[in-house]
């Protein structure tokens, strides 16, 4: 798939891993209308790309994403984030839904500041790895706006209700170390090791059986929504049945028996 028509996202795909870089470094990757639309569109493109097995989202330069570019989109912000009368979730909610429904593993490599909507894009990803210099800042309450881009949903799942409330009531800035302690990130690494650590994990995920990895993601997200136990066990068992009919399960078993690396094809 060709990603050359993206203006503010730089996208590279190699060895099953797509690296998506928010690319407005002069504004700490704050998003304008064009970049917002691209962040809404790209999950669908990545989902349909058979060459992509894992997605990494990061920022170019010193920051991950500093949120909405107020200077550029002051007049457009109401259009972007206001809820049209017949739209139940608005564009703000559609960001979260698009990344949730990508149906492939995602990792945020958080370099520098992730603030406001930028924090939202970090929290949307399955796994977050932060550079030591990373800072996570809600920046909603002090602006007089309720949490956007699904951060109320993602933050509670990342850090729990009590911490999420304290975090958002005060717009407290979390350092990388505090974010790790709270569970907002999975790992913290020195700044110069961020992409190396992220790509190591992404490559390991991409080397797995693609369909089974997607089923793992679906099953764990389903469990996290806390269904009644029998409902989840039925759901999980359905996924076990799907994975048991794939070529990849036979290849995995053969690779173990033959003591070689598996060659998964996603079928």
What number is the average pLDDT over the span 213-227?
Answer: 88
Distances (CA, A) of 66 to 60, 178, 201, 263: 12, 19, 25, 40
Domain boundaries, position 156: 9-206
Residue 242 sits in the same domain as residue 125: no
Percent of the chain exceeding pLDDT 70 equals 87
89/22 same-domain check? yes
Average pLDDT over residues 170-177: 96
Q: Please calculate the CA angle 83-84-85 and round it to the nearest 5 degrees.
A: 115
Q: Based on the domain organization, do 39 and 138 belong to the same domain?
A: yes
- Cα distances (Å, whole numbers) of residue 153 to 132, 148, 159, 161, 205: 25, 10, 11, 10, 25
User: Is there a single domain that holds both residue 77 and residue 173?
Assistant: yes
22 and 118 co-located in one domain: yes
Asked whether residue 267 is assigned to any structural domain, the reply reads no
**How high is the mean pLDDT of the chain?**
88
State whether 231 and 248 are in the same domain: yes
Q: Which of 76-90, 159-173, 251-265 has the lowest mean pLDDT?
A: 76-90
- Judge if 178 and 103 occupy the same domain: yes
174-175/135-137 β-pairing:
antiparallel
187 within some domain: yes
Element (H, E) at 130: strand 127-131
In this prediction, residue 89 has a pLDDT band, given cuts at 50, 70 and 90, of low
pLDDT of residue 252: 62
Strand partners, 12: 19
225: buried, middle or exposed (CB in 10 Å: 19+, 13-18, 0-12)?
A: exposed
pTM (2 decimals)? 0.87
Q: How many structural domains compose the chain?
A: 2
Q: Is residue 84 part of a domain?
A: yes
DSSP structure class, residue 107: E
Which long-range contacts does 232-241 make (Cβ < 8 Å, 24+ apart)? 239/215
Distance CA 78, CA 35 (A): 16
Answer yes or no: are the C-beta atoms of 107 and 129 closer than 8 Å: yes
Distance from C-alpha of 90 to C-alpha of 82, rounded to nearest angstrom: 7
Q: Are residues 173 and 228 in the same domain?
A: no
Burial class (CB in 10 A: 0-12, 13-18, 19+), 198: buried
Q: Which CATH number goes with the domain that contains 78?
A: 3.90.226.10
**β 54-59/17-22 pair status:** parallel
pLDDT at 86 over 50: no
Mean pLDDT (whole number) for 154-169: 94
Sign of CA dihedral 181, 20, 201, 103: positive
**Does the pLDDT value for residue 84 go beyond 50?**
no
Tens of pLDDT, residues 193-212: 999 999 999 999 999 999 99
In a domain, residue 85? The reply is: yes
Residue 113 falls inside a structural domain: yes
239's CB contacts (< 8 A; 6+ apart) are 215, 218, 219
pLDDT band of residue 256 (cuts 50, 70, 90) is: low
* Residue 45 included in any domain: yes
Q: Are residues 103 and 49 in the same domain?
A: yes
User: Per-residue pLDDT for 226 more than 90?
Assistant: no
Residue 164 forms part of a structural domain: yes
Rank 101-110, 142-151, 162-171 by mean pLDDT and report only the highest.
Answer: 101-110
Q: What is the pLDDT of residue 85?
A: 46
Residues 52 and 120 reside in one and the same domain: yes
DSSP state of 111: -
The helix or strand, by DSSP H or E, that contains position 96, with its residue range, turns out to be helix 90-100
């Amino acid at each position: 798939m060709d990603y050359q028509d993206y203006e503010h996202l730089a996208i590279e795909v190699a060895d099953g891993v797509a690296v998506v870089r928010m690319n407005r470094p002069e504004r700490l990757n704050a998003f304008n209308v064009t970049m917002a639309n691209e962040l809404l569109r790209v999950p669908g493109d990545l989902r349909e790309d058979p060459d992509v097995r894992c997605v990494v989202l990061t920022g170019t330069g010193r920051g991950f994403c500093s949120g909405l570019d107020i200077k550029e989109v002051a007049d457009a912000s109401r259009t972007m984030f206001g809820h049209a009368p017949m739209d139940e979730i608005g564009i703000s909610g559609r960001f979260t839904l698009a990344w949730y429904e990508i149906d492939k593993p995602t990792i945020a490599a958080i370099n520098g500041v992730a603030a406001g909507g930028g924090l939202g894009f970090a929290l949307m990803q399955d796994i977050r790895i932060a550079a030591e210099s990373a800072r996570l800042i809600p920046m909603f309450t002090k602006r007089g706006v309720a949490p956007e881009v699904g951060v109320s949903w993602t933050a509670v799942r990342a850090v729990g209700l009590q911490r999420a409330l304290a975090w958002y009531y005060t717009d407290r800035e979390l350092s990388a170390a505090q974010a790790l302690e709270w569970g907002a990130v999975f790992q913290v690494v020195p700044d110069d090791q961020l992409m190396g650590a992220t790509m190591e994990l992404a490559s390991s995920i991409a080397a797995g059986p693609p369909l089974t990895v997607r089923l793992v993601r679906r099953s764990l997200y389903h469990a996290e929504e806390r269904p009644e136990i029998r409902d989840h066990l039925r759901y999980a068992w359905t996924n076990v049945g799907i994975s048991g009919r794939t070529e990849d399960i036979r290849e995995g078993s053969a690779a173990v028996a033959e003591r070689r690396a598996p060659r998964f094809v996603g079928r």
